[in-house]
Amino acid sequence: MSPIYVALDTPDLEKAKAIAARVRHHVGGIKLGLEFFMANGRHGVHEMADTGLPIFLDLKLHDIPNTVGKAIQALRPLNPAILTVHASGGRAMLEDAKAAAPTGTKVVAVTMLTSLDGSDLRSIGLSPDPHEQVVRLAELARSAGVDGIVCSGEEVKAAHAAWKDGFFVVPGVRPANGPVGDQKRVVTPRAALDAGASILVVGRPITQAADPDRAAREIEATL
Ligand X SMILES: O=c1ccn([C@@H]2O[C@H](COP(=O)(O)O)[C@@H](O)[C@H]2O)c(=O)[nH]1
Task: Indicate the pairing of strand 82-86 with strand 29-33.
Answer: unpaired
Catalytic residue among 17, 60, 117, 194: 60
CB of 33 closer than 8 Å to CB of 58: yes
Q: For residue 202, state whether it binds ligand X (rule: CB under 6 A).
A: yes
The identity of residue 110, as a single letter, is V
How far apart are CB 182 and ligand X at their closest, in Å? Answer: 7
What is the C-alpha to C-alpha distance for residues 46 and 159, in angstroms, rounded to an integer? 33
Here's the x/- map for ligand X, 19-58, by CB under 6 A: it reads as --------------x------------------------x
Which of 63, 117, 194, 213 is catalytic? The answer is: 63
**145 close to 86: Cβ distance less than 8 angstroms:** no
Active site residue 58: yes
Q: What is the DSSP string of 69-96?
A: HHHHHHHGGG--SEEEEEGGG-HHHHHH
140 lines the binding site for ligand X (CB under 6 A): no
Instruction: Say if residue 63 carries a ligand binding annotation.
Output: yes
Q: How far is CA 123 from CA 127, 128, 219, in A?
A: 10, 9, 35
Residue 133 binds ligand X, judged by CB under 6 A: no
Annotated binding site for substrate: 9, 31, 58-67, 114, 174, 183, 203-204
Residues with a known catalytic role: 58, 60, 63
In the complex, the residues that contact ligand X under the rule CB under 6 A are 7, 9, 33, 58, 110, 113-114, 150, 171-172, 181, 183, 201-204
